[in-house]
Each structure stands twice: as structure tokens, then as C-alpha cells.
Amino acid sequence: MAGYECLKTGHSSLDAVETMIRYLEESGQFNAGRGSLRQLDGIQRMDASIMEGQTLSAGAVAGLEGYLHPICAARRIMTDTDHVLIAGPHAHRLARHFGLARLIHRKNSTPLRNKPISRKAKNPKSLALYRQLGMYDTVGAVAMDRSGHLAAGASTGGVAVMLPGRIGDTPLIGAGVYADDTAGAISMTGLGESIIRTGMAKHLAILLGLSWTPVRAANHALRALISRIQGEAGCLILDRTGRLAIRHTTRWMSAGYWNGRGKPVVKNRFP
């Protein structure tokens, strides 16, 4: 796996998270980077964030158009500016300034700018099934390096049938992503509106900081999400001792992990 190979060669957890998410954005198989969904005006707008747990530094981008790797833009915002989150046209200008890779669609792929999605695409039964299957496909990663430092990140193209300008949980530190060496690293996926309303990533970090296990913290937070607001989410959690949990309320969630021993574990459903 690209992320582990990065750690194996002595790179930081932040490098590993960025490398893994770049790979997923490039693939076009997920709702991130090349494969991002279009908003209702036919334009792909992407969000991403990245955070490291040693100094709590973070960077994020929202509504980025035309660039292949929003996770790279998020990291440059973290390292090269005094800010955490930059959105819209100004994020585009920064990505251009940093010389980041443009999003060029392959032959026969969906063009970046297209006609607005037709009303026929807004079939309520299809959308209900889409939600039941958990087909959100936000990509994320968490990692711990040799020094014990943690990092987390996420990248997304949003959800099906989005109003132009809609921003979900992914670029919001404490909602979609959080990392703290004293607690753990968390990356969320799912229905962004419900994740924002419950501040899921920070909530999980607080529980980890109280010495809850990742499994206990995930089960508690996800049950609360369902009982309070009927939300839908999945999470990757890595605590400061290296314990991992992958949990979700949706029917499916494709994820994988590897600690360097045996074979990588990749499944589309976790208990």
C-alpha cells in the first residue's frame, strides 16, 4: 500500500496520509479528485483537509475547481500560509500559484463542466437507494509514523444532488478530520451535514483522550449520531497507542489497513 511504503522509508505520517489520498484521488474510482461528483450546475467542486497531531497544524480547501489533488492544496495551505481553510476562486488561485496538477479528464470520461443535471436524475427512489447503500465514497486516511506522530486527512467531491456552493464536513477541522498526538487521528465519511452538526471527529478525539478504545468511542459516537439526528457516517480511528477501529452506520464502507505484518486487509464492510 502506498501509505505504508511511505512510512517504511522513514517519511512522516503526514506524508503517508497525503500520498495515500493522492493515489485515491488519481484513480477516478471514488468520489474525490478525478472521480468527483458534479453539483447541480454541472461543475465538480472538491473539498479536502489534512491535519497533524504534534502541533495541531491543519490545512483545508473547499469548493476547489479544476485541480486533480485537493489534498495537496490543503497541505500547501497548512505549510505555506497562516490560514487553515481557503475556499472557492481564491483556492483556485492558490492552487495555480503552487503549480498543482490540473484536472484533465481522460477520453470518454465526464467533462469537468457539463450541462446542469437534469430533473430526471433527481429520482427520489434512486436517491433513497443511494443513501441506503452508503455510496458517498469520500476518501480518507489516518497514519502513525515511527516517531509516534499522528495525521489524518480526507478528500471528497460531495454528495449526489448538491446545490452549487454546498460544502460538507470534509474541509472542516473537528467535523470530518482531526488529529492529536495526545488522543488519536480520525477521518470521517458519510452524510456531511450530520457529521458537521455533531462535530464527529473532535467528539471522537475527546473520547480517545479520555482513554476510550477506538472501538468503544466509534460505537458510542455513531449510536448517538443515529439516535439524535438519524445521521449516517463511517469513521477511521487510530489512537495514540496504535489501536485501530473502522466502523460505519451505512450498509457498506470500503476500507483497508496494514501494519506491515501479514497481508493488507481490505473489505467493503466492517462490524
176, 61 contact by CB (below 8 A): no
Euclidean distance between CA atoms 183 and 197, whole angstroms: 22
From the list 19, 138, 198, 249, the catalytic residue is 138
The total of other beta-carbon atoms located within 10 Å of residue 218's CB is 26
235, 246 contact by CB (below 8 A): yes
Euclidean distance between CA atoms 17 and 2, whole angstroms: 9
By DSSP bridging, strand 58-64 and strand 85-87 are parallel
* Rg, the chain, Cα only: 17
Q: Which residues pair with 67 in a beta bridge?
A: 102
Q: Which amino acid is at 23?
A: Y
Which positions ≥6 away from 106 have C-beta within 8 Å? 28, 34
Query: Would you call 138 a catalytic residue per the annotation?
Result: yes
| Residue among 194, 208, 187 at smallest CA distance from 255 | 187
Q: Which residues pair with 150 in a beta bridge?
A: 144
So which residues are the catalytic ones? Answer: 138
